[in-house]
Amino acid sequence: MKYFLIFAMILFVGMNNVMAQQEEIQIGSGYLFPESYNTEGKVIVVQDVRVRKLMEKNMDKNKALNGMQGYRVQIYLSSEPRKARQEAENIKSKFDKIFPEMKSYLKYETPFFKVQVGDFRSQHEALRFINSLKLEFPNSYIVKTDIEFPSLDF
């Protein structure tokens, strides 16, 4: 009997500890996608507090970057002092005519002029795109860099 009481107390204390590490988050109707929620219902998410803290930490890191880690395709790189800027502008203009829907970026990082294109979240996405570039821009390659947040079109 003595062992049973000790076991019951340990179990009770352990359950209190586990319950203390969780929180309920209520998302009212229309919080994320107004058309998908019934106005009389609610969603209750039960999650560990540590999960929420990790998510907030990651969101703060991304806000500080004003973007996120991702990939771009670099189609031009040169440090020629006399003609690199003009060549980079010409390459960017040529790319913009061929792929008007894709963003392109002209960068100067001492001593290089660079033209990078796209905002890809994964290396696989960039690899699929680079195959369409190889005819016009044969020296293009994938670089890991900070990219803009992707648009959320629903």
User: Is residue 11 one of the residues assigned to a domain?
Assistant: yes
The whole-angstrom separation of Cα 111 and Cα 134 is 26
Asked if residue 120 lies in contact with residue 44, where contact means CB atoms within 8 angstroms, the answer is no
Asked if residue 74 lies in contact with residue 113, where contact means CB atoms within 8 angstroms, the answer is no
DSSP code per residue over 114-134: EEEEEEESSHHHHHHHHHHHT
User: Is residue 135 one of the residues assigned to a domain?
Assistant: yes
CB count within 10 Å of CB 86 equals 11
pLDDT digits (tens, 9 = 90+) for 16-39: 554 545 555 555 444 455 555 555
- The CB-side HSE value for 44 (13 A sphere, CA atoms) comes to 4
Residue at a domain's end among 48, 65, 82: 65
Mean pLDDT of the chain: 80
The verdict on 105 and 143 lying in the same domain is yes
Cis peptide before 138 (omega within 30 of 0): no
* pTM for the predicted model, two decimal places: 0.59
Q: Which domain holds residue 136?
A: 68-147
Q: Where are the alpha helices (DSSP H) in the chain?
A: 2-20, 49-65, 84-98, 123-133
User: Is residue 154 one of the residues assigned to a domain?
Assistant: no
The verdict on 73 and 108 lying in the same domain is yes
The whole-angstrom separation of Cα 56 and Cα 150 is 19
Give the angle 103-148-94 at the CA atoms, nearest 5°.
Answer: 15
pLDDT digits (tens, 9 = 90+) for 52-61: 899 899 888 8
The verdict on 54 and 79 lying in the same domain is no
Residue at a domain's end among 47, 65, 83: 65
User: Is residue 153 one of the residues assigned to a domain?
Assistant: no
Give the angle 79-140-110 at the CA atoms, nearest 5°.
Answer: 25
pLDDT digits (tens, 9 = 90+) for 85-113: 999 999 999 999 999 999 999 999 989 99
The count of structural domains within the chain is: 2
Residue at a domain's end among 26, 41, 65: 65
The verdict on 72 and 108 lying in the same domain is yes
